[in-house]
Chain A
Amino acid sequence: MPRIMTGLACLAATLLAATSAHAQGTVKVGAILSYSGQFADTGIQLDNGIKLYMKQHGDTVAGKKIEIVRKDNAGIAPDVAKRLAQESIVRDKVDILAGFDLTPNAMAAADVSVQAKKFMVNMNAATSIVITKSPYMVRTSFTVAMVNEALGTWAYKTGSRRAYTLVSDFAPGHDGEQAFQRAFKEAGGEIVGSARYPTSNIDFTAFIQRAKDANPDVIYIWTPGGTQPAAIGKSIAERGIDKSKIRIVGQGELAFEEALKGMGDAGLGIITAFHYDYNHQSPTNKAFVEAYNAEFKRNPDMFSVGGYDGMHVIYEALKKTNGNTDAEALVNAAKGLKWESPRGPMSIDPETRDVVETVYIRKVEKVNGQLVNVEIDKIENQKDPSNARMKK
């Protein structure tokens, strides 16, 4: 019993120490990402975004020095995420939890954010429900529902009537499937078939063949990235699918930079919906891409911009609270923040604490001999629709 009291006392003392905002002090931000394993690349890109922001804006805000404490989640491991979040708070005394490249990890860490009352910036995890898991969380990435519903509506508006959906068999994939199907059907379209492939699937021949057999005029594919987009692109070419007759649409990961490199010309004509591409033509983005390339010798992607904007939220919120790291104060300061991000205009919705941004529809085309995503349409001020629906 006494140990529990000591523990609680220590916790209280830590919180008090953290909230006493005076001139001297550090604000520690715990970055929990996958630095190793299957998703290592997403973690690294996100971390690069954080590093770039700090390089450009200095590491001092409102008189406090910002220190990043990095923890490796090594992939989909909610129990590890929870432990890392706990350790960051207890051992390393972090004031803000950040990162979270994967939904399961974000959800587990949200529990800790609630228990310990810490401000949490979700820089990537894209399932709608994540934001509801902690009242101290804001999101700076996107939600699967938002992007894919926009895509579904757009697909119908631009001529498709019979859709086949193929998604990865886990929560974000199911989200994508539901979102696209719902929007497509609401607009008046018909779903002629669907399938879910195992998350670690490598060869897509069987699935693509099934899709082709169902005779759709648009195939919707959801993949989280990694090796899969390239494999999918190749299967599509090998199975002889004519993209002018059957459109291939999907969420942005399908046409990521590495995916296009791996697919080669098989990727031409793939249409994706997403909130960010390094090819976005805006002065803010051009500057961002240049600085990123100078620092890291590669192009930024959605993870980078999620990390970059996440740090922006932290910095701006801290400025507003004058260095106070109390969770309530920070979350209230973050609500309603509006700014011009490399991705375009974005803001944090004051009601849901979720991101509000533009969804771009892009097509893969050859520009200057390289395959890039060229924006062909855009839908502005998109919010997460499922949370909005739940409120009604």
Chain B
Amino acid sequence: MITSAFGVLFDGFAYGMLLFLLSVGLSVTLGMMNFVNLAHCTFGMIGGYVTVTLINSFGWPFLATLPVAFLAAAAFSIVCERTMFRRLYRSTDLDQCLLTIGLVFVSIACTAYVYGTIQQPVQLPDYLRGSVQMAGITFGVYRIFLIVFALIVTGALVATLEYTRFGAQVRAAVDNQRMARGLGINVDSAFAITFALGSGLAGLGGALAIDIVGLDPSFALAYLVYVLIVVAVGGLGSIGGSFVAAMLLGISDMAGKYYFPAIGSFLIYLVMISLLMWRPAGLFGKRV
């Protein structure tokens, strides 16, 4: 039983990594500018559809589509930011919610129009399929890939944040925006870059998610709830927080379903509510 539990936990970990990729961008942008971007998962969805189109219509290999998914989502987010989001930085939370939800609706309708409502299948290259046996436990190859890839991305993110000047600027802006401006840091441009990066990561997450959770136009809304949970529980502006929260979510979801299938779906919400009541600012958040 222990060995099969490991197998389940491993999958939970992979799922958590996926959620992390999808959520980290939102956490940082929320922490920096307090801009509630509910269309975050739309960027994820765009990344997914870009990958699907490149593979199915142009025959690109899967791995080659990933950078394109990243760039496409980032580019799209920059366009949105310049034209619409910019005007609402000083607005209330609700207005931001409303605008971005409107964007989500439009994106769902457009993708339904262009791609139809069916699930988009994606053919993974052979070396990413199947499973390997290690110590009597079966590990899915794709999930191993996902975990490794996400860890590399995390490492890159943390390195950027800790060791580059840009990272220092971002950290300063998250901690205290006014002060950062006062010190001459160009918060607006730092934010624009961070926003694009975060959305690009969401796009990457969306592309990687197709094999695990499927892709259809409702992706933009369906995963929003999970992403919000990760962001809230992890704490705004904290990469480490998002990481831990995503892990927690992924593993408790899996473990819940394995050990208590009857209440499996409850568990996430109970965990989230309890955690938030204990620490309203999130596990690693600095402010509410």
On whether the two chains bind one another, the answer is yes
Residues of A within 8 A of B (CB): 36-38, 40-41, 44, 195-198, 200-203, 205-207, 209-210, 212-213, 226-227, 230-231, 234, 237-240, 258, 261-262, 264, 266
Q: Do B7 and A203 touch across chains, with their CB atoms under 8 A apart?
A: no
Contacts of A197 in B (CB 8 A): 257, 261, 264
Q: In the complex, A266→B117 CA distance in Å?
A: 24
- B116, B119, B121: the one within 8 Å of A226 (CB): B119
**Considering the chains assembled together, what is the distance between the CA atoms of A198 and B267 in angstroms?**
12
Interface of A is mostly: helix
13 A–B contacts, CB within 8 A, in A order: A196-B262, A203-B213, A203-B253, A205-B8, A206-B261, A207-B257, A209-B8, A210-B258, A227-B213, A231-B214, A237-B130, A240-B138, A266-B129
Taking A44-B117, A198-B265, A213-B4 as contacts, is the C-beta distance between A206 and B254 under 8 angstroms? yes
Q: Shortest 7 CB-CB distances between A and B: which pairs?
A: A227-B214, A206-B258, A238-B140, A40-B117, A206-B257, A205-B11, A261-B121
Instruction: Verify if B177 is at the interface (C-beta below 8 Å from A).
Output: no
- B218 at interface (Cβ–Cβ under 8 A)? yes
How far is the CB of B135 from the nearest CB of chain A, in Å? 13
| Given contact pairs A206-B257, A240-B133, A262 touches B119 in the complex (Cβ within 8 A) | yes
The answer, yes or no, to whether B123 is at the interface (CB within 8 Å) is yes
Interface footprint category on B: 35 or more
A268 to B119, CA, bound (A): 20
Asked if A258 and B121 make an inter-chain contact with CB atoms under 8 angstroms apart, the answer reads yes
Contacts of A264 in B (CB 8 A): 123-124, 129
Whole-angstrom distance between the alpha carbons of A231 and B116 in the complex?
Answer: 20
Supposing A37-B218, A237-B131 touch, asked if A262 and B257 sit within 8 A by C-beta, the answer is no
User: How many A-B contacts at CB < 8 Å in the complex?
Assistant: 96
Interface residues of B in 1-31 (CB under 8 A from A): 1, 4, 7-8, 11, 15
List of A residues within 8 angstroms of B214 by Cβ? 202, 226-227, 230-231, 262
CB-CB contacts below 8 Å: B243-275 with A: 253-255, 257-258, 261-262, 264-265
Binary flags per residue of B72-102, CB closer than 8 Å to A gives 1, else 0:
0000000000000000000000000000000
Q: Which residues of B contact A266 (CB under 8 A)?
A: 129
Q: Knowing A41-B117, A203-B254, A226-B119, say if A210 contacts B261 (CB, 8 Å).
A: yes
Partner of B118, one of A41, A207, A231, A240: A41
The CA-CA distance from A40 to B264 in the complex, in Å, is 27
Interface of chain B, helix or strand or loop or mixed? mixed
B130 touches A196 (CB 8 A): no
Given contacts A237-B131, A238-B138, A258-B121, contact A207 B261 (CB under 8 A): yes
Evaluate whether A195 and B261 lie within 8 angstroms (CB atoms) in the complex, with A203-B254, A227-B213, A239-B138 already known: yes
Which residues of chain B come closer than 8 Å to A200, judged between CB atoms? 265
Contacting pair A239 B1 (CB below 8 A): no
Contacting residues, chain A, for B112 (C-beta < 8 A): 36, 40
Q: Looking at the assembled complex, report how far the CB atom of B89 sits from the nearest CB atom of chain A, in whole angstroms.
A: 33
Residues of A within 8 A of B130 (CB): 237-238
State A227–B214 Cα separation when bound (angstroms): 6
Tell me if B258 and A209 are in contact (CB < 8 A): yes
> What's the least CB distance linking A197 to chain B, in Å?
7
What distance in Å separates the Cβ of A1 from its nearest Cβ neighbour in chain B?
44
B275 CB to nearest chain A CB (Å): 21
Give the residues in chain A near B131, CB-CB below 8 Å: 237-240
**B159 at interface by CB-CB < 8 Å:** no
User: CA A54 – CA B110 in complex, angstroms?
Assistant: 29
**List of A residues within 8 angstroms of B265 by Cβ:** 198, 200-201
**New contact pairs (8) apart from A41-B117, A206-B257, CB-CB < 8 Å:** A195-B261, A197-B264, A203-B213, A206-B258, A213-B4, A226-B119, A226-B214, A227-B119
Q: When each residue 102-119 of chain B gets 1 if its CB lies under 8 Å from chain A and 0 otherwise, what string results?
A: 000000000010001111
Q: Which residues of A contact B212 (CB under 8 A)?
A: 202-203, 231
Q: A201-B257, A238-B140 are in contact. Are A258 and B7 (CB under 8 A)?
A: no
Check A230/B11 contact, CB under 8 A, given A207-B261, A209-B4.
Answer: no
The smallest beta-carbon distance between B207 and chain A, in angstroms, is 16
Residues of B within 8 A of A239 (CB): 7, 131, 138
Q: Please state if A258 and B261 are interface contacts (CB–CB under 8 Å).
A: no
Q: How far is the CB of B45 from chain A (nearest CB, A)?
A: 14
Q: How many angstroms between the C-alpha atoms of A226 and B255 in the bound complex?
A: 24
Given contacts A239-B7, A240-B133, A262-B214, contact A230 B121 (CB under 8 A): yes
Residues of A within 8 A of B262 (CB): 196
